[in-house]
């Protein structure tokens, strides 16, 4: 093929594959909505998933939040001290944790921990015909596998993010007041003055959306797995990579969208 057309063909194929992928995700969402409408909720499976996804991810999310809050406090303090506004560190850390760091970091950690295990578990079931066995026995794979994970995720994500933010702020408080000797009252006043309910809501909404993204992408990779162990490995990798990337891209657009409803400052 001639030089320019070859490039067009490759990028065109790539684009078409991408559209096909979005179509498959759309189809899975459709089945999920249908499954919700039919009320095919399996309480026991959902509770099991809440334990795995929510309860099990707490340690990871708390450590992430705490150390991020601590280091962010230190870095902000070093720079803010130059301007003599070091006591306002609490405000910036708190708003950042609520709006960006909490949801994004917790989302990424949950992707790595939960998204991978979802894709691997469902993928293994697919390649060992266990999904076909479900279908044969009259259980829809989306009802049985995807819906409980979806519900568990949308319930757990906002709570995990809250924990991430709370522990981040706690660590920030300890570092700010303990190491850098910012007076308690000053520190706390800045936190309260600059953080509103809308900032917390901002993070919760993001968490909800990220939860949906992680579940859809990871379960989809599991459900389409083939080619045995290699296929499951590939699916797991893709689940984590696609979820993380889509989470970061989606976060950018979500920030602008949500800022329209919950504006921060007077920039927009």
Partner 1 sequence: MAAISYDKPFIRITGLKKSFGEQKTLQGVDLDIYHGETLVLIGPSGEGKSVLLKHIIGLLNPDDGKVELEGTDLSHMKERELLKMRRRMGYLFQNAALFDSLTVAENVAFPLLEAGIRDRTEINKRVQEALELVELGEHKDKMPVNLSGGMRKRVGIARAIISKPDCVLYDEPTAGLDPIVTDVIDLMIQRLQKRFQVTSIVITHDMGSVFKIADRVAMLKNGVIYFIGTPGELKQSSDPEIQNFIAGRSGMCA
DSSP 179: I
Task: Please report the DSSP string for 7-26 in residue order.
Answer: HHHHHHHHHHHHHHHHHHHH
Q: Which residue, 134 or 155, is less far from partner 1 as judged by CB?
A: 134
Distance in Å, CB of 80 to partner 1, minimum: 52
Residue 143: CB minimum distance to partner 1, A: 9
Beta strands, E only, 8-78: none
Nearest to 219 by CA among 134, 108, 143: 143
- Residue 31 CB, shortest distance to partner 1, in Å, is 9
d(CA 25, CA 242): 12
Given the complex with partner 1, which of 138 and 265 has the nearer CB atom?
138
Residue 142 or 164: the one with the smaller Cβ distance to partner 1 is: 142
Residues in the chain: 268
Q: Contact residues for partner 1 (CB under 8 A)?
A: 34, 125, 128-130, 132-133, 135-140
Q: How many CA atoms lie within 13 A of 176 on its CB side?
A: 33
Q: Residue 130 CB, nearest distance to partner 1 (Å)? A: 5
| Nearer to partner 1 (CB atom), residue 15 or residue 55 | 55
């Amino acid at each position: 093929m001639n030089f320019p057309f070859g490039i067009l063909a490759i990028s065109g194929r790539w684009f078409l594959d991408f559209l096909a992928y979005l179509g498959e995700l759309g189809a899975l969402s459709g089945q999920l909505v249908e499954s919700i409408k039919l009320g095919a909720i399996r309480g026991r499976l959902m509770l099991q998933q809440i334990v795995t996804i929510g309860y099990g991810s707490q340690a990871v999310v708390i450590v992430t939040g705490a150390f991020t809050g601590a280091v962010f406090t230190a870095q902000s303090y070093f720079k803010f001290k130059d301007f003599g506004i070091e006591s306002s560190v609490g405000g910036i850390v708190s708003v950042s944790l609520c709006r960006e760091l909490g949801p994004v970091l917790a989302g990424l950690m949950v992707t790595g921990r939960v998204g991978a295990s979802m894709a691997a578990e469902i993928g293994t079931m697919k390649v060992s015909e266990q999904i076909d066995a479900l279908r044969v026995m009259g259980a829809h794979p989306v009802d049985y596998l995807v819906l409980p994970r979806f519900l568990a995720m949308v319930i757990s994500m906002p709570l995990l993010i809250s924990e991430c933010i709370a522990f981040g702020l706690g660590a920030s408080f300890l570092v700010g007041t303990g190491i850098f000797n910012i007076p308690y009252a000053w520190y706390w006043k800045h936190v309260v003055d600059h953080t509103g309910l809308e900032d917390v809501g901002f993070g919760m909404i993001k968490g909800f959306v990220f939860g949906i993204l992680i579940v859809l992408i990871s379960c989809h990779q599991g459900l389409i797995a083939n080619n045995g162990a290699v296929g499951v490995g590939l699916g797991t990798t893709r689940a984590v990579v696609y979820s993380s990337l889509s989470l970061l891209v989606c976060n950018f657009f979500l920030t602008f969208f949500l800022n329209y409803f919950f504006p921060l400052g007077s920039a927009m």
